Amino acid sequence: MIIPANATDNRRLAQARLPRMMFDYLDGGAFAEQTLRENTADFQHIHFRQRVMRDVSSTSAATRILGRDVSLPLVLAPVGLAGMLARRGEVQAAKAAQQSNVPFCLSTVSVCSLEEVAQATGPANWFQLYVLKDRSYSEALLDRAHKAGYSTLVFTVDLPKLGLRYRDVRNGMNGGLSPWGKLQKLSDLLSHPFWLWDVAIKGKPLTFGNLSDAVPSGRSPEDFKAWVDQQFDPSVTWADLEWVRKHWPGKLVIKGIMDPDDARSAVDVGADGIVVSNHGGRQLDGAPSTISALPAIVEAVSGKTEILFDGGVHSGQDIVRALCLGANGCLVGRAWAYALAAGGEAAVSKMLENFRNEVELTLALLGKNSVKQLCPDDLL
């Protein structure tokens, strides 16, 4: 058993502890997973400008994101089905985020409901919403989030249709397994007795907590997933953001921006922030990595809205690279999900501590005292 030092170690532990279907759902991307790989690999082509003989006796990763003081420029991104990775997983992750003073964003398709997470952690969480065909249900979700004290809505705009994820097809996430495939799935579940006991049995109910009213007959995640897959609305345009603004009184962040023109459109509709994101490589395979798309978007809208970034962030050094290129903060998804599966709340807290230490160490080696001092000149 290894003592996890980084996201790669947590990924290895998660792979050992999770049934294959759940690990592949978390770990995989769309089509041939080219964009998924490049999200991570392209960070390695960005080199730091090391500076010496500066007074770096005091360094700080603290900053502000959307008006909130945070311990480091990081948000725990929305991860669907996180409650299938550890018992009541979203609650555990939200507690870790609260203790570390960083925002936690709850997914529409979370196992734990808006109210359950809010009750466990208090107000000021973020909530992510997909564009659903059923506008009345979307309105009800927004009302629930506001009443539960959620401060920020992250509106995901890059799912007019669900990306094709070959790993999920092979594992039967959408059904259609042969009798032999079902037998293999059962064998895989039985070979992970700790997960079966701790999550599948003690972690019930394993349904989408935010959608229980929409699918009252649903008894399994597959039932809810079928409803959600039919709810993605390919007719949505920028004009629909007026509807969101009408029904959401808090801050609004648009997630899924990969083009400078789309970034400008988000500013035009009054977004408080955007997330430069290709959905973790889970939608349009062959799209560029987010880190390669970031500079042009920064040039287009810097100073007009807050620019957040996600995709391939697996360390504090990745955060520093993104901030040097103009991001105000980063969202992290898989990294915290790996940690959650590897060791629950304690592992997520340790991951956040590691990220903060990595940011501050990198600042010192760049000759900087604060993340607010970072700029493109800190890169070669």
Active site residues: 279
Q: E strands along the chain, which residues?
A: 63-65, 68-70, 74-76, 105-106, 126-129, 152-156, 251-257, 273-276, 306-309, 329-332
* CA 338/CA 340 separation, integer angstroms: 5
Angle of helix 179-190 versus helix 20-27 axis, rounded to 10: 90
* CA 77/CA 19 separation, integer angstroms: 23
* CA 236/CA 369 separation, integer angstroms: 44
Query: For the CA atoms of 79, 35, 329, 65, what is the dihedral angle to 10 degrees?
Result: -40
What single DSSP character describes residue 82? Answer: G
CB–CB of 71/356 below 8 Å? yes
Q: Name the phi and psi angles at 174, rounded to 5.
A: -105, 15
* CA 311/CA 304 separation, integer angstroms: 22
Omega cis (within 30) before 260: no
Listed in sequence order, the residues at least 6 apart from 120 whose beta carbon sits closer than 8 Å to its beta carbon are: 91, 94, 95
CB–CB of 54/81 below 8 Å? no
Q: Is 327 helix (H, G, I), strand (E, B) or coil?
A: coil
